[in-house]
Structure 1
């Protein structure tokens, strides 16, 4: 497949790195020094030029393009680039990264507007990612499959967790939950019954939403469940607004701190169940007067990484149990989580994963990435010609690599707990954990 990527920022580079091995990738970048960097870093062709310029697109081979991805930091540039590409090559599938939801609303009203086949909204995706994590105590990441009937989540096991030093067999007390992986010291381990769970480990589980929620409460019993959680959002950015709106839809009444008077007034008018407070969120006196330290979760969505780090550290000092920070620079995520932020969410990483999820899904209907690129959780429908159709899971596992875990099955929209004697049938949707090197082998079998 001939893929043209416009924009070589963190998002464009991440997507190019994922696609370079299986596709013919051309990256268009306006900055010559950045284009040169990618030439040496990746096995892709880079072209220096304006991605909205006809001659530049023709040089990139737009006439033969199967897919065009516009991933710059400017919404209008991405829209124009996709429109131009569509005018030249109507058969090309165009994907635009945008931040402002007004463009998304226009596109949703008439899909195909602007000459765009898929529009990916950074701010909305980031807010959705934050809200999924907020709803699960101790969760670092979460995703849903099979129309919401299956949930995958990654949890960190804290020092005081009840399952510390237990084996997986001892900790697995849930009817519809599967331990899919243990992440330890940068390595990914497929758990066995005798695998020991240590403080600091991250575990990936797959199961029904109820079982995942119950597991979350079990490993972090001191944290409040979602329905009673008190959430404070710092910053009335687009991300902050959408976090509050989505929390309202879940029946919560968050508090939102915004310093700008006009923005605070607009937010108050549009968020009926949110208490909007106009103040400088770094003012310790204000934070103490408003008892921010009593909150279960603080989400910082200010306009710089440094401000979000400061806000989370202040919240920690005041006694907030859990902090979530929006981190623009992806390379800062691990650093911020090391110095005291519980969960760092990078909008660039979120949107890159969403686009890569679409471009690489292949036979999979849904994909989530673990540890960026070390493993994947896939949703695949068992075909009538599948080598595994008609086999029990016990027999099917003999045909699959050892680094594969079948985490859940849905059949006729019903959740089925995968056990050794469960038979796989054509039409089943299976959610599997797979280490990245064997993804193609596994999807071919399924």
Structure 2
């Protein structure tokens, strides 16, 4: 597949690295020659210095034969223009990064498609939705719903009081259990577990289950004492913060702290008056105490500085906040954030890349998600008639190592999968695999 990525910023660079590891034909287009130099020498991709809104630049990049054109520069209008030009010059499919929510409204989809923009992605909105999902479950590191909640993914840190500590998957499976363990993150290693694998202290364990059994998983992981989130403090008045405040349930009381008075004023005008905007530094312990940090169940750090966000969450943890979430855009800091046990991590690059990645897959995929802490992906495949997975029982399909089926949704009902399960056409099958394996296993679902 020939893919042109316009914009060698954070999202474009991460996406180019991810796709180049899969031996895709990647061309990265940017006007900054210095930014491209290091990528050209370290990764299997081609870089071209040029403007994504220049017809000549697009032609030099070979846009006429591009299967996918992705515009992810920081400028929304340039991305839209680049996609329109690329489409008219022959690109098969285009994707534009935007920061205007109105463009995403269903009534505008056909309009943009006519212009030559097939898909729109708003990373800040996706990040905000992920934060809100995480806040709804204070005891969960990651939370993801499939088919409107018919099947649930939960990522949970295992502590001393968990019933599962030092238990093998074979021992768990001796009784009928209403969940499936699909991945384990242990220090720097990600494990797609088998029967002999043991759950250990401080593992992050990823479960699939149905809504009915969430309280049971909460019990066996020792998380019943975690308070539900009612009071939320957000440090940093970014677009993600504003969207998080808008998407949060009405029962949550939200305070946003920002050091910039002009930004505070803009937030006050844009947001509901029930959301309190404070001009102050979220690292100021006296201010946090004054604003009731001891009665706060969730602290979210969303400044533009990863180190600041990590340190602020550490401070909030020490002040007794049960749930902390940090925006960490520097990928190198994510493992550090995990080792410091700061809580959940949000990374716009991973979120954007996951959504763009699913557009590349030939199988019918409705969801792809990168697990931030784990070197693994989760995808929701819609099974086609006569697909390979419909021919045999799961245990006889010969799935590769590093891959597992987490469950399926049939006629709106979530079903856990075992070796004797027969997958049918039309099923939504949730799969887990180590990074870069999705392309290898999609052939089972075509």
- TM-score tier, shorter chain, comes to 0.7 to 0.9
The alignment of Structure 1 onto Structure 2 pairs a total of residues equal to 440
The runs of 5 or more residues in structure 2 that have no matched partner are none
Q: 1:445 to 1:103 in 2, by over 3 A?
A: closer
Q: Does the CA contact (< 8 Å) of 2:95 and 2:119 recur in 1?
A: yes
Aligned partner of 1:352 in structure 2 is 353
Cα displacement (A) at 1:344:
2.3
Distance 1:174 1:123, change over 3 A: farther
CA distance in 2, matches of 1:434, 1:337: 21
Asked whether 1:199 is paired with 2:201, we answer yes
Matches within 5 A, 1:140-155: 140-155=141-156
**Distance in 2 between residues matched to 1:190 and 1:328, nearest whole Å:** 26
Aligned to 1:292: 293
Post-superposition offset of 1:194: 4.5
Query: Which residue in 1 is equivalent to 2:430?
Result: 431
How big is the shift at 1:289? Answer: 1.7
Map residues 40-55 of structure 1 onto 2, 5 A cutoff. Answer: 40-55=41-56
> Which residue of the partner structure matches residue 415 of structure 1?
414
Structure 1 length-normalised TM: 0.87
Of residues 123-132 and 266-275 in structure 1, the stretch that sits farther from structure 2 once superposed is: 266-275
Structure 2 CA distance for aligned equivalents of residues 379 and 353 of structure 1: 12
2-side partners of 1:8 and 1:127: how far apart?
A: 24
Structure 2 CA distance for aligned equivalents of residues 13 and 372 of structure 1: 19
SS at match of 2:80: helix
CA contact (8 A) 2:192 2:434 kept: no
CA 1:216–1:94 in structure 2 vs 1: closer, same or farther (change >3 Å)? Answer: farther
Looking at structure 2, the residues matched to 336 and 425 of structure 1 have their Cα atoms a distance apart, in angstroms, of 41
> Aligned in 2, Cα 1:386/1:108: closer, same or farther, shift over 3 Å?
closer
Q: Relative to 1, partners in 2 of residues 1:87 and 1:10: Cα closer, same or farther, differing over 3 Å?
A: same
Residues 188, 335 of structure 2: 8 Å contact kept: no
Q: Distance in 2 between matches of 1:15 and 1:410?
A: 30
Q: 1:280 to 1:45 in 2, by over 3 A?
A: closer
Alpha carbons of structure 1 residues 109 and 213: separation in structure 2 relative to 1, 3 Å: farther
Corresponding residue SS for 1:236: coil
Match of 1:183 in 2: 185
Mapping of residues 131-280 of structure 1, within 5 Å: 131-168=132-169, 175-212=177-214, 214-216=216-218, 218-219=220-221, 220-225=223-228, 228-248=229-249, 251-261=251-261, 263-264=263-264, 266-268=266-268, 270-280=271-281
Alignment of 1:10-49 (within 5 A): 10-20=10-20, 21-49=22-50
Aligned to 1:8: 8
SS at match of 1:112: helix
Residues 11 and 348, structure 2, Cα contact 8 Å, conserved in 1? no
Q: What is the root-mean-square deviation of aligned Cα atoms in Å? A: 2.9
Mapped partners of 2:156, 2:42: distance in 1: 33
Q: 1:207 to 1:241 in 2, by over 3 A?
A: same
Q: CA deviation at 1:161?
A: 3.4
Whether the 8 Å contact between 2:355 and 2:367 is mirrored in structure 1 is no
The alpha-carbon deviation at position 311 of structure 1 amounts to 2.3
Deviation of 1:432 after TM superposition, in Å, equals: 2.0
Q: What is the TM-score when the length of structure 2 is the normalising length?
A: 0.87
- In structure 2, the residue matched to 1:365 is 366
**Contact 1:79–1:114 (8 Å) recurs in 2:** no
Inter-CA distance 174–424: structure 2 relative to 1 (3 Å threshold): same
